[in-house]
Amino acid sequence: MTISPFAPQELEQQDTFTDEPYGVAILHDPLLNQGMAFTKDERVMLGLRGLLPPRVLRQHVQEARVLENFRKMPDDLQKYMYLIDVEDCNETLFYRTVIDNLQEMMPIIYTPTVGKACQLFGHIYQRPRGLYISAEDRGEIADVVANWPHDDVRVIVVTDGERILGLGDLGANGMGIPVGKISLYTACGGIDPATTLPITLDVGTNNEKLLADPLYIGLPHHRLTGPEYDAFIDEFVEAVEERFPGVLIQFEDFANHNAFRLLKKYRQQVCTFNDDIQGTAAVALAGIYSALRITGKPLTEQQFLFLGAGEAGVGIADLIVSALGEYGVMPDDARKQCWLVDSKGLVVAERDDLAPHKLPYAHDFQMIPSLLDAIETIKPTVLIGVCGQSRQFSEEIIRLMAHINERPIIFALSNPTSKAECSAEQAYTWSDGRAIYASGSPFPPFEYNGKQFVPGQGNNAYIFPGIGLGVVSVGARHVTDEMFMAAAHKLAELVDESDLSIGLIYPPLDGIRAVSAEIGAAVAAIAYKQGLATIPQPNDLHAFIREQMYEPRYRWYV
């Protein structure tokens, strides 16, 4: 809901406000509230006299207060809770503060802190945010969706909480993830927060600890599965598409057994993508492109070994195959450059326990049970960790990669920080300072033998906000693989030589809004090329995309 831009004289002539928020209702709406920044004239016009302290404080002063209190908080979880309180009160101020301090606040509003917040969500819960649709709403999901107060929703992030980061099944507690991703859509990608909606599908949880917790916020029973689950998802997709036609639906943190098939089922029906599969793939591929600028070796000469054969691992491998196709490598040959290791060992054709998404990478090769032996045999140039288990890249493994390669490429992408396969310090130390390293969650700069290294963070926030910006800005009907390929190329192009010289293979986070604008333009160009855009193509696409980006400024009358 927004307030119409009445001229001051029109407001003075109104005796009552029947359709627009007025008085205390404005202060209770985080999209409209601007706190003590309301001018004296605005307070008169909007019925706010006496409801605020008399002094007028502009936004930059309010931001200073937020920063002061934020930095006084004793730990990251308290900082997270404080920022959520600010967001619940005044979204414009929240986004102004986050954007101006993104390097400091992104690890709080998203990974790694959001993982801890999800684990404790029922214990720190204060105020609802987003929409909860439960298994008890079957047959009436459209009625639940109708309760959302804003009609112009353009981006939805939805989870069923079954595979939250690397933490597993957190059920309805997983709402912290859609909320955090939506915040990044706005802070990083410039999507107006009034047009976004985080959703949790509560179909139960198989986490016995949560089921025994009296403060757990979700349905206290095991997960809905099989045809009943599928019917529930069908009803959900139909309901949101009917209420918000053309809305971009981002599937987030669904378990492997659902993620791949849901993406395959819906991607040609509605405008949708899975960030764990496609967003992770694009940010990883961009990091590989940047790393190869350091090694000087072409993509066609690389051997990729993945620890983890789920959504992220297969998603990255699929995009690498597409990237190799741009160099003329046929898909079957490209797949032979990608090797997967799961919990039972190397994924090979002789195994009879493989899920369908692993089969394209099940090579006709001997079974190797351990990662170390697989590295010794395959001799990969790139080692990518997406297994969700910490400390899997041991000193012996890193040293072996450094023995095989002059500049080993080591990506420890599992989130949150506690689940990273190795730390930046370990990768640099055990490789004698030769590793090209990236992680999913942030690690601080590290000095080794007098040289400063700045580890790259392969965070999906480099990709999905720009994807969303491009798709929403031109009204694209679908999200395609070519869009993610374009995003990966553009992200890698934005890394300059000074970044590479310190080992940084992604652009600095404080410039991520400019990155999102560039990616948004690249994605929009693909939408026009593929005939998927629903608005006429502007003369200057880059300028048009930048004009669509939300800026957190107060929008009143005086």
Residues recognised as catalytic? 110, 181
Non-local (6+) Cβ contacts of 529 within 8 A are none
- Count of CB atoms within 10 A of residue 460's CB? 26
- Give the strands of the sheet with 248-251, arranged side by side: 131-134, 196-202, 155-159, 248-251, 272-274
**CA atoms within 13 Å, Cβ hemisphere of 81:** 18
Instruction: Determine the Cα–Cα distance for residues 140 and 158; give it in Å rounded to an integer.
Output: 18
Q: What six digits make up the tokens of 465?
A: 């906000």
For residue 332, the one-letter residue type is D
Backbone phi, then psi, for 39, in 5-degree steps? -75, 170
CA pair distance 342, 363, nearest whole angstrom: 14
Q: Give the C-alpha distances (Å, rounded to integers) separating 461 from 112, 259, 273.
A: 13, 20, 15
Cα distances (Å, whole numbers) of residue 79 to 105, 106, 164, 244, 303: 9, 11, 21, 34, 42
Residue tagged 């006429």 (tokens): 536
Q: Are 427 and 393 in contact (CB under 8 A)?
A: yes
Residue 227 token pair: 């045809």
Beta-strand runs (E) in 322-367 = 338-342, 345-346
- For residue 9, the SS3 value is helix
Q: What is the greatest pairwise CA distance in the chain?
A: 83
Alpha carbons 221 and 334: distance in angstroms, whole number: 44
Opening angle at CA 248, ends 246 and 250, nearest 5: 150
DSSP code string of 115-131: HHHHHTHHHH--S--SE
